A and B are shown apart, each in its own frame.
Chain A
């Protein structure tokens, strides 16, 4: 997970931002590799999904706060009954969605519980 960091104020951004909203022009933005470690802030179990994701239901959708600060929306790969607010998670590389049978496969980051 490569995002950015503002060296002026220390704030991290994922997805990457090229302009710090706090420091604005005074902010020095550099690339930053995240550890992929985070905590579940809130979550739900999706039972009715968009067609392209329907094979995965029921799946856990969550907002994860990365250790470095930013919050992201993502899936947690786990037994839906085991998902908890406050759970520690780490990133994994998975297929996110496919554009049908002949289209592009989109890969990305999901999370699994840290055991």
Chain B
């Protein structure tokens, strides 16, 4: 019998797994239309993806495994959704899976193309549904469709579904997000996002024009982070980059405030902790004496708004700049 370490077995399985996935890798080739999932903030990148996508490095085994997982989850979730549709009120069916989609530009060319994951069939409506199995850290931050525009990793997915709605003239659709526990089904309306969709279509048209002319649009300006995320950066595209730089505040009063704040920081923390503990112990005592301290308490009215969850959600407004978190550290 050959003595084999379990660590060696695990390592060899890992290697074989990667090899199997890499064998299934199919090369990308230049294509004449912008994919619905390929909305980019940089039109130059959209053109390069049409013309030079075959020159990008092949996907790693790890990325291929993520794609595979995404496909598997999409299939499973659509099977589940078909079953759920029979029991839902109103009932619905799932049909038209992987149906081809094409959106023409003003010149009559197919500018954006893709495949719709599926459609839900209700009485009088057939909204498209797009299934995404993104990283749990991304999905955890999503509550509404608008949240998708906050992260550079989810914006293209949001535009993808908008393109399907725009192309098929549907006023609404759904985005189904896989996550641990129940999946998140987000309703999506086209009307509030029409301007985004029109911008996508216009830029797809510009990309096609450049592709036909064999030219490239100007570099993206003012978004160095986006440039450095781009797979063409340094390879086929060498844009100038400009980082904003930190803000210098030269107000001596502010400096003094910060110094004083730092000086009393520990004392302040100690006070907060003690105050919390003391008040927790004394809650409900309306009159008392402890050593040298006299204690006076008073009950007061407190208004609370208790709303059903659905109503609360309906009236909740999310302000993307409503909260501001500061971290002030004395470093020098």
A pairs with B = no
Interface residues of A (CB under 8 A from B): none
